[in-house]
Amino acid sequence: MEIFCRLLFGHLLADFTFQTNFIAEWKRRSPWGLLAHVLIHPLCYIALLWPFLSETWVELGFPLNGWSCVVIATVLHYVEDHFRVNRINKGWTDNTLFYFWDQALHIGILFFLSPWASQPLMTSWPILGTLFVVVTHFATVTIWFVEKDIYGRDYPETEEKYISMLQRLVVWLAFFLPHPWWLFVLLFVLVSFGRHVWTRRVDFSWTSVVMGNALAVVCGLASRFVLGFHF
């Protein structure tokens, strides 16, 4: 589980945090852009999994060590992303379902390449890192896909993107406070942000507010559980 959690963290970093708007557009119009995006993944995997790369991860009648699994994951990521980009460029709708299918396939490959039986979870930081990316960049992209399908929205402008990201991050970080202070801080942040949205001081849709804060709260509760904090 340790290796899978680190792989998942690395995947989310490469697919969301480090996939800037420029890279996302570049990969759809150029094979070099797609290659540049895909090669960020093994860099993240190697950095996060360096102590485990020489160990055997999977037995398929022959042993596959970490280096081999990283190469396989990278090649399969390229194949899936090439398929997705190719289909979109040929007229397929890049909707929420296609987006979730893409992520499920990538994560399923990492799951298959992970040594579950021989590698228990040893540290909490890969899970906390994963939750950080989920609260920030993953939530931004996921909410945009939902709003694009429902309302036909464009991708959020830089200011809106980072204000909403910061607000979710503050909600998530409130869960790291000692009991019962985290409850008061969380309530204050949610009520304050909701009031600003209600009075239109911050121009966010209620879909974004509800989905974003719900995701931040779930990730916050998961973080307290991982760290063994009292609720």
Show the domain range for 140: 124-231
Residue 185's pLDDT is what?
A: 76
Closest Cα partner for 217 from 178, 181, 173, 172? 172
Give pTM, 2 decimals. Answer: 0.90
Last residue of a domain, one of 121, 137, 161: 121
Residues 6 or more apart whose CB falls under 8 angstroms from that of 147 comprise 153, 205, 207, 208
How many domains does the chain contain in total?
2
pLDDT of residue 199: 60
pLDDT score for 204: 72
Do 102 and 128 lie in a common domain?
no
List of residues 6+ apart from 229 with CB closer than 8 A = 175, 176, 178, 179
Task: Please indicate, yes or no, whether residues 162 and 174 belong to a single structural domain of this protein.
Answer: yes
Q: Which residue type does 82 have?
A: H
- Residues 220, 174: Cα–Cα separation, whole Å: 8
Q: What is the 3-state secondary structure (H, E, C) of 115-140?
A: CCCCCCCCCCHHHHHHHHHHHHHHHH
Task: Give yes or no: residues 179 and 102 share one domain.
Answer: no
Same domain, yes or no: 211 and 108 = no
pLDDT of residue 201: 59
pLDDT score of 41: 98
Query: 24: exposed, middle or buried (C-beta count within 10 Å: 0-12, 13-18, 19+)?
Result: middle
Reading the block at residue 77, the tokens are 């990521």
The pLDDT profile of the chain, 231 residues, written as one tens digit per residue, is 899 999 999 999 999 999 999 999 999 999 999 999 999 999 999 999 999 999 999 988 899 999 999 999 999 999 999 999 999 999 899 999 999 999 999 999 999 999 876 566 778 999 999 999 999 999 999 999 999 999 888 888 777 788 889 889 988 998 898 877 777 777 777 777 666 666 665 667 778 888 998 999 999 999 999 988 766
Q: Which of 86, 121, 156 is the last residue of a domain?
A: 121
What pLDDT was estimated at residue 103? Answer: 97
Tell me, what's the pLDDT at 200?
A: 62
Of 121, 144, 170, the residue at which a domain comes to its end is: 121
One domain for residues 107 and 5: yes
Same domain, 84 and 62: yes
Residues 65 and 115 in one domain: yes
Query: How high is the pLDDT of residue 122?
Result: 77
